[in-house]
Structure 1
Amino acid sequence: MAWRDAKASKVRLILFMSSIVLGIAAVVSIQLFSTNLKDNIQRQSKVLMGADYVIDSRQEPTQRAQAIIDSLQPNAYEVNFVSMIAFPENGGAKLVKVRGMEGDFPFYGTMDTQPILAATRYQDLGGALVDATLLLQFNINVGDSIKVGQLTLPIVGALKSIPGSNAISSSVAPPIVIPYRLIANTELLQFGSRKEYQFFYKTTNDFDLIAFEEKIDPLLDIENADLDTHTSTSERLGNRYDNVGKFLNLAAFIALLLGCIGIASSVHIYIKEKLKSIAVLKCMGASRLQSFLIFLIQIAGIGVIGGLIGSIIGIALQELFPYILKSFLPFTVEISISLQPIFTGVFLGLFMSVLFALLPLINTWYVSPLEVLRVGQSTSKSSKKAQVLVSIAIVIFLLLFSYVLLDNLMFAMGFVFATLLTFAILAGIALLSMKGIRKFFPKRFGFAARQSLLNLFRPNNQTVVLVVAIGLGTFLISTLYFTKDILLSKTEVSQTAESANIIILDVQTNQRDAVEQSIQDLNLPILDNIPIVTMRMHRIKNKLVNKLRQDSLRQVRGWILNHEFRATYRDNLTTSEDIIEGDWTPQIAPNAPILISLSENLASDAKVGIGDEIVFNVQGVLMETTIGSIRKVDWAQLQPNFTVLFPKGVLEQAPQFNVITTAVPDEKSSADLQRDLVSKFPNVSIIDLRQVYTVVEDILNKVSWIINFMAFFSILTGIIVLIGSVRTSKYQRIRESVLLRTLGAQNKQILKISAFEYVFLGVLGSLVGILLALIGSLCLALLVFNEPFVPSIVPFLVFLPGISLLVVAIGLSNIRTVLRSSPLEVLRREG
């Protein structure tokens, strides 16, 4: 009976099935890609690092640290730092990451170069391997030369990839590799230079890296060095991408939920139309269970087939993710097919279809055989207890599945609550709109307009579900556009003369005046000249830092104990700083207590507050200070910000270097300035914030594309739900239109009635979705990003009219039969 009835209603059942196919496809594609990603990270963990483990230090290793490093006998080592380089052939200059290498690194994987032999011969040849993209950008070829500080050496190869680098970091500071022995000749490692020493090790397969790390890492931490194994690094990398996967899973899950709501709505109408048939079956002796199982088998079959089709589409879709995410991944993902996500897809299709269809299916249990004799609407009543139990089961399933995706009960509860709240708001607005129209019905409107509004209250109307489906999809994609604008506004670099867009780092004290003069000679302003003094914490609230490092019960965060702070001094606060505790002291008199200001994140991690004492080691000199104020710092602003701020009158005589900022009007001025400074002062580094902004914008655009891609599933699922819901109520609407034609209505009037009804549904759903997104994004801007909110006009210009027109087009396609045929012919055909 289930099969025979399904064949007679195959069009409607196909629409039910299509409601969940895209949601299943989204979940399966992301689950499958996440599985592949984790497998690739585990399989390529050694290739990612290029070694079994690495010891690194952001300063020249201490005597004790060097003794540990030497006792382990490193197989290769390097020093790396960021600096400016120049191309003598055309005068080009660029900020790069210089890696001075000694040894046969990498031990796993390859250093991809062109020509291939350059990867193994560059140290013997005394040449440089330069990032391939950088060579193309400056039209430089292998065989030309490169100037690194005071050293000019030949380019022996184009560097395409090297273990440990990725496209994002390379776009800001492309890597170049030179022999370690030549680093001293560059004369770039001067006072205040940021540098990192790395020592690479290769071990045997049976070497216990976990036990080794537990023993050696604490010893190195005390000496401000760090040990990373390929296993711990791959675990951190996996956790990082796992968070991305969780977000994408939730986006896909929302699309699946939307489809399930479409199934529940469509089955509700479908079952109502089948009540007479069920009553006939019961008159002929069918039991409650038999009549219930007929339609349960149909829905279960739809779920299994939909889950299988969705899984197949998901398998195809996940092939796109490596291409989409390649800029974020430091390795190439090899795609393989596993059965677990496919089983997940089929299970979700079956379970969620049945679960969400149970509410309307329960009605079949309570159909009386007397329904055959009754005229008009059904008087059968469903069980409130059964409906409550099914509703509770749905919420529990949502909570459990969210917990599986997020692995955090509080986050899962928050997600389920937010999802239910969003659905409730959309449904509530739809109901309130209907109630408002009913209460303030426009009696003076024309016949077509009045009839279209009355259709919103017809039996089996789909006003609520259509508004929810349209609104949620529009809400997701509109939130994307609004949030993207907020993020981009935080990184926007103003082009006015008052805003710095060039930062010049590592300017030595004896170079300061000459650098300023070079900038002024190019008719550019000096906006800031910021002195930088390096220091470390020696004592925090009468507790020595060395003892805190060995205290396993300490509350102070570990990074503070090993960090080399770059502090500054001045008598004013910048636009990115606000005092939230204490009072700012702009200047200190001689021999007076030194009152400093800390950023709130540093104060929180160090567990200190106003009045607490901190002793700093300022390059060998101990300096006692007292916390006078705590600042809230907007780190997102692209300008030099500091965790430790001294007043004037304290650090002026300390060894220091400077950061100078200026503003250039265009790309040519920036290139001229960089070329001039690099030729005169090879040790300085120059950051063009306009280039950084371009990189950040590109990253945000890629992230936006991914979110857009997921929102597309929700929008498309919403459209399919819309088609299914509208097509399911087709037969009732056809009868209404036939009656109107019988009473003398013209085709033009029927078209107007249907068009007005669907315009109302489309405009209400998409408008509510956009307004909810507007409110949500406003809260994000004010509460999370602390930024003014200027919403994008794209959702209002594109989604509002676009979705509304789509709803109208689908709705009007339903009544083509009425308009093309006589009323009697239509009634006979539908009968």
Structure 2
Amino acid sequence: MTAFVAGQASAFRPGWALAFRFALREMRGGLKGFYIFIACIALGVAAISGVTSVSRSLVEGIAAEGTTILGGDLSFRLIHRQATPEEYAFIESLGAVSRISTLRAMARAPGPDGQSGEQTLVEVKGVDDAYPLFGEMDLTAGGALEPAIAATGETFGAVVEPELLVRLGISVGDTLSLGRATLTVSDTIEVEPDRLSDGLNFGPRVIVANAAITASGLVQPGSLVRQHYRVRLNDPARLDAIVEEAEEAFPEAGWRIRSRANAAPGLQRNIGRLAQFLSLVGMTALLVGGVGVANAVRSFLDAKRPVIATFRCVGADGGFVFRVYLIQILMLTGLGIACGLVLGAAIPFATQGFLATILPVQAIASIYPAELGLGVLYGALTALAFALWPLGRAHDVPPRLLFRDDVSTRHRWPRKRYIVGTAVAVTVLASLAIWLSGDTRISLVYVGATAAVFLLLSLIARAIMAGARRLPRPRGAELRLALGNIHRPGALTPSVVLSLGLGLSLLVTLALIDGNLRRELGATIAREAPSFFFLDVQNSERDAFDALLSSEAPTATIDGAPMLRGRIAAINDVPSSEIETPRGGGWALRGDRGITYAGEKPDNTTLTDGEWWAADHTGTNLVSFESEVAGELGLKIGDTVTVNVLGRNITAEIANFRRVDWESLSINFVMVFSPNTFAGAPHTHLRTLTYPDGGTQKDELALLKTVANEFPTVTSIRVKDAIAQVNALVEQLAWAIRAAASVTLISSVLVLGGALAAGHRHRVYDAVILKTLGATRMRLIASFVIEYAALGLVTATFAVVAGALAASFVLVQVMDSQFVFLPATAIGAAIAALVLTVGFGLVGTWRVLGRKPASVLRNL
């Protein structure tokens, strides 16, 4: 009979169809043991698909409102100057035109005795009668813009953001001063349609007529004022062709042309970077969940040993067993992915209201198949990568061993096909993360770091088990039992260390990055940075202004430099638009940069290569370039840089490279030219003032008031106010990062709970045997506390070290900042690890100790 069965089995090889039928029949027993499996996959898929969907919804919102955000089909921006008659004639031939002027200035409320009262930095926008070409300008009182900003005698109307009224302590109908002009606040701004296109703002908006800006005296030769010419095209279909015609007809105009297709490029770049970062965090959550997948599969196969043994005894081969349970795992993965997709698709709708409060663009919440498909792909690959190995080990286990304890099969390796399959799944997963990333370098570092952390955690788990095995046997029963539980076959040590180590490492990394950024902004920069920046100091006022600063702040350090704005038009005669910068130096080629000239080497300058020119240098135009940016752009001594300043292309030869300390916020420029380069060019001066002790608020406000009264056209920027603005932005980003990190921590907690649940059956047997032999409940609880506390402490130590290294790399290499270890974060991580491990361990232990011995002893 046995021979007959064996012969029949060898002749019949069951395929996928039969395996599918058996898999379905076994699934009738329910999902017990797989809830954490499903939750881990669902959380990771939801994080990835949700983050990418939110990013897409914001980008779609920007694209849909491109003309409104930009204020036209096309925008031509010039700095320092207005368009020439020829340039304006070309722009006007394209369609309806609206000219807007933007600059920063000081707004002052009237004070007693004709002096200035409260004052603040504002973002001024001068508009004409055609504004806005697209969208609606809504005022709080519901009136039209044109009469609200019209002039009455020598007083001009203005509409302002409500925040300005609070800062200056004034109301609608009151007056304020802008430069040498007097404005009457007619109304407050409800909606400014093109606000987003202006980028980062450091003060409340003030909208006036262009004539008011002229009367203010703020626009002088070299003043930092931007002129925007917005166009409603007669032929919108020729958008790209018109841009090419403009660049060919006026190659030295120096204008920046933007179309409705890239209405807010800075915001789109930042959205993409944040989405990439949050996607990597979501990927980490999915990988942490992968540990839970492996735990669940091992536990599931352990519980199915009698069924597998039955399959093998009646003639089924190892391949059939593998197919049956692979199908089940894929079905459960599909269920987890489906749950994750539902959550991921809902995230854009759930966050729409929150995003509206922090971003000046309306996200288009929708279901985005491509982004959801990405979540499906990541989820499926993660499940395969972590499930193939334990499934493959069941292929070659002899039936006789499946009825015994798993001691003899714990360390058996699967066949090569399953090892290769696991390697392929991991490789595809890593390649996908790198290929779909916006920054290949960061993604490569992430993949390498993740692999290293996995390897290190696995080695640490093995080292803990080996160390516990080699330690002398302690006299106390609790310690002996704890050590035995750590290193015995089937111990929870690898699962606990992997799951908790990954989650805590990410948590420590993000906490250290967040803490260091806040420390840098709130302490180091605030302490070392100048107290004030003074912009647009005219040549005719420079000496008198310096004398005023010396008189009002005799102990302060005053520094200064001539100030122009220009755009890098070409490098070595290659247009900047055609230069690829894979290492990140492209920011220097985008938009306009502050530039200066100097005869002698500035005191805070450190040359890294080349020589400084003579103070009386004539002849070839020379330039000193910031060394790090130069390296990213691949520049060398003798290369040429062409900058467009005031509508002229000026070429200079690189004479030297120098190191710049950007964090100091002192006067720093990417490019410093020899004085002969800009001989006769109109420009203003920049001044900084630094109090030796940081200055008090009373001193700073008094100086602000004096400068405003004596030099109303000078723009004063109080550095502490600017840092507060940046801190507010960092705080908003921190909430998004914390939310993403919490997903990873939740995954870690789920995996930890799953690992403890997987070992529940073994713990029940142990507890029953020990209680039968006389162990008390308190002794068992004490041994479990020792075990979990030891694992938690070792894992927390690793997480602190790994998190510190990762945060250091991100801050120093990616953000070009400084890293300081924060002990409070380490203590917090250790406490979190101990609370999680001991807490979950005690919950599981209480359940174990509550089992009645009789039912367990009958089945031993």
Match of 2:456 in 1: 425
Equivalent residue in structure 2 for 1:566, among 580, 588, 595:
595
1:600 aligns with 2:627: yes
Alpha-carbon distance between aligned partners in 2 of 1:651 and 1:208, rounded to the nearest angstrom: 38
1:295 aligns with 2:325: yes
1:781 Cα deviation after fit:
4.7
Structure 1 counterpart of 2:127, which letter?
M
Map 1:113-124; keep pairs closer than 5 Å. 113-124=139-150
Match of 2:10 in 1: none
For structure 1, the 5+ residue unaligned runs are none
Match of 1:683 in 2: 713
Greater shift, 106-115 or 774-783, is seen at: 774-783
Alpha-carbon distance between aligned partners in 2 of 1:565 and 1:709, rounded to the nearest angstrom: 37
Match of 2:46 in 1: 25
Match of 1:633 in 2: 660
Distance 1:339 1:180, change over 3 A: same
Structure 1 counterpart of 2:119, which letter?
A
Equivalent residue in structure 2 for 1:187, among 209, 214, 217:
217
Alpha-carbon distance between aligned partners in 2 of 1:38 and 1:400, rounded to the nearest angstrom: 25
Match of 1:580 in 2: 608
- Contact 1:82 1:685 survives alignment (8 Å): yes
Distance 1:474 1:644, change over 3 A: same
Match of 2:757 in 1: 727
Alpha-carbon distance between aligned partners in 1 of 2:171 and 2:97, rounded to the nearest angstrom: 32
How many aligned residue pairs are there? 823
- Contact 1:301 1:350 survives alignment (8 Å): no
Map 1:163-562; keep pairs closer than 5 Å. 163-166=193-196, 171-204=201-234, 207-233=237-263, 238-284=268-314, 288=318, 291-322=321-352, 325-326=355-356, 329-342=359-372, 345=375, 349=379, 352-371=382-401, 377=407, 383-403=414-434, 405-406=436-437, 414-439=445-470, 441-444=471-474, 446-492=476-522, 500-520=530-550, 522-523=552-553, 525-532=555-562, 534=564
Structure 1 counterpart of 2:49, which letter?
V
1:658 Cα deviation after fit:
3.2
SS of the residue 2:105 aligns to: strand
SS of the residue 2:716 aligns to: strand
1:772 Cα deviation after fit:
0.6
Match of 1:75 in 2: 97
Structure 2 counterpart of 1:122, which letter?
A
Greater shift, 647-656 or 780-789, is seen at: 647-656
Map 1:644-655; keep pairs closer than 5 Å. 644-645=671-672
Alpha-carbon distance between aligned partners in 1 of 2:803 and 2:578, rounded to the nearest angstrom: 46
- Contact 1:275 1:364 survives alignment (8 Å): no
Map 1:788-827; keep pairs closer than 5 Å. 788-827=818-857
- Contact 2:95 2:233 survives alignment (8 Å): no
Greater shift, 613-622 or 559-568, is seen at: 613-622
1:670 aligns with 2:696: no
Match of 2:16 in 1: none
- Contact 2:223 2:683 survives alignment (8 Å): no
Greater shift, 314-323 or 254-263, is seen at: 314-323
Structure 2 counterpart of 1:396, which letter?
T
1:466 Cα deviation after fit:
1.7
Distance 1:800 1:199, change over 3 A: same
Alpha-carbon distance between aligned partners in 2 of 1:53 and 1:189, rounded to the nearest angstrom: 25
Distance 1:492 1:805, change over 3 A: closer
Aligned CA-pair RMSD: 4.0
1:467 Cα deviation after fit:
0.9
Alpha-carbon distance between aligned partners in 2 of 1:475 and 1:78, rounded to the nearest angstrom: 50
Structure 1 counterpart of 2:804, which letter?
L
Distance 1:796 1:400, change over 3 A: closer
Alpha-carbon distance between aligned partners in 1 of 2:616 and 2:533, rounded to the nearest angstrom: 31
Distance 1:721 1:226, change over 3 A: same
Alpha-carbon distance between aligned partners in 2 of 1:183 and 1:778, rounded to the nearest angstrom: 47
Distance 1:497 1:267, change over 3 A: closer
Greater shift, 527-536 or 92-101, is seen at: 527-536
SS of the residue 2:257 aligns to: strand
Match of 2:137 in 1: 111
1:529 Cα deviation after fit:
3.6
SS of the residue 2:664 aligns to: coil
- Contact 2:106 2:119 survives alignment (8 Å): yes
Equivalent residue in structure 1 for 2:77, among 48, 56, 80:
56
1:530 Cα deviation after fit:
1.2
Distance 1:661 1:351, change over 3 A: closer
1:582 Cα deviation after fit:
2.4
1:694 Cα deviation after fit:
1.2
Structure 1 counterpart of 2:495, which letter?
V
Distance 1:206 1:80, change over 3 A: closer
Match of 1:643 in 2: 670
Alpha-carbon distance between aligned partners in 1 of 2:816 and 2:569, rounded to the nearest angstrom: 34
Match of 2:122 in 1: 96
1:43 aligns with 2:71: no
1:470 Cα deviation after fit:
0.8
Cα displacement string for residues 199-251 of structure 1 (whole angstroms, at most 9, x for unaligned residues): 11112575321222222234344221232110133677545423322222221
For structure 2, the 5+ residue unaligned runs are 1-21
1:513 Cα deviation after fit:
4.3
Structure 2 counterpart of 1:390, which letter?
G
Alpha-carbon distance between aligned partners in 2 of 1:41 and 1:538, rounded to the nearest angstrom: 27
Alpha-carbon distance between aligned partners in 1 of 2:640 and 2:575, rounded to the nearest angstrom: 18
Match of 1:13 in 2: 34
1:763 Cα deviation after fit:
1.6
Alpha-carbon distance between aligned partners in 2 of 1:43 and 1:621, rounded to the nearest angstrom: 36
Distance 1:549 1:222, change over 3 A: farther
SS of the residue 2:83 aligns to: coil
Structure 2 counterpart of 1:26, which letter?
A
Match of 2:798 in 1: 768
Alpha-carbon distance between aligned partners in 2 of 1:317 and 1:606, rounded to the nearest angstrom: 39
Structure 1 counterpart of 2:598, which letter?
Y
Distance 1:480 1:86, change over 3 A: same
Distance 1:599 1:31, change over 3 A: closer
Match of 1:65 in 2: 87
Identity %: 24
Distance 1:455 1:288, change over 3 A: same
- Contact 2:44 2:289 survives alignment (8 Å): yes
SS of the residue 1:207 aligns to: helix
SS of the residue 1:815 aligns to: helix
Distance 1:734 1:490, change over 3 A: same
1:401 Cα deviation after fit:
3.0
1:728 Cα deviation after fit:
0.9
1:143 aligns with 2:164: no
Alpha-carbon distance between aligned partners in 1 of 2:577 and 2:441, rounded to the nearest angstrom: 31
Alpha-carbon distance between aligned partners in 1 of 2:272 and 2:543, rounded to the nearest angstrom: 50
- Contact 2:293 2:383 survives alignment (8 Å): yes
TM-score under structure 2 normalisation?
0.85
1:724 Cα deviation after fit:
0.5
Distance 1:614 1:322, change over 3 A: closer
Distance 1:795 1:326, change over 3 A: farther
- Contact 1:493 1:690 survives alignment (8 Å): no
